[in-house]
Structure 1
């Protein structure tokens, strides 16, 4: 089972990482100024991860594939790591789709 791990950055912003059942980070959020906004981001990932059109499949300037997950308003709510192949990136997207809906929340900020 996946989990959303919420942490606080050194600049005071909150962020989450979605981890697969094996512990690997499969999606990282932007920074949020409040924990409430971060939790809203988690809920947005749960919802938007079920719509394949919300996954923006990209390639970095050095040719490495990655993806962004976008909300219905177009805002990026999470980004992946850089992958070696498009097949690995697509597996990462599939993992987000499977893990996000029922992932527990592990709040490490309290």
Structure 2
């Protein structure tokens, strides 16, 4: 599920949520709803190409996270931290499912 929030200063942000309401990923702030919508449509077009959508990372504490990228490779969102690589891969699956369910 995708939740869109309007932030202070007229900025927009989307969150990808699991079926149980847990936030899987938060986007960067967008200056307009149109830019946010264009990014979501861009991600929809890429959803079959997981290798292009996701960048896997490890932070300095050894925790894992995922960054979501658009078609030109810009980071448009980040996941929370995962304690294991398997958890991160499961998170990617959940994010992918949220994208497929949330973007029509």
- TM-score range (shorter-chain normalised) is 0.7 to 0.9
TM-score, normalised by the number of residues in structure 1: 0.83
Residue 47 of structure 1 contacts residue 101 of structure 1 at CA under 8 Å; is this kept in 2? no
Q: Which runs of 5+ in 1 are unaligned?
A: 106-110
Q: Which runs of 5+ in 2 are unaligned?
A: none
How far is 1:104 from its partner? 5.8
TM-score, normalised by the number of residues in structure 2: 0.87
Which of 1 and 2 has higher RCO (CA within 8 Å, sep 6+)?
Answer: 1
Consecutive aligned runs of 4 or more in structure 1 exceeding 3 Å deviation: none
The two structures, once aligned, show a CA RMSD in angstroms of 1.7
Aligned equivalent of 1:17, options 15, 18, 21: 15
Count of residue pairs brought into register by the alignment: 103
For residues 5 and 21 of structure 1, the distance between their equivalents in structure 2, rounded to whole angstroms, comes to 12
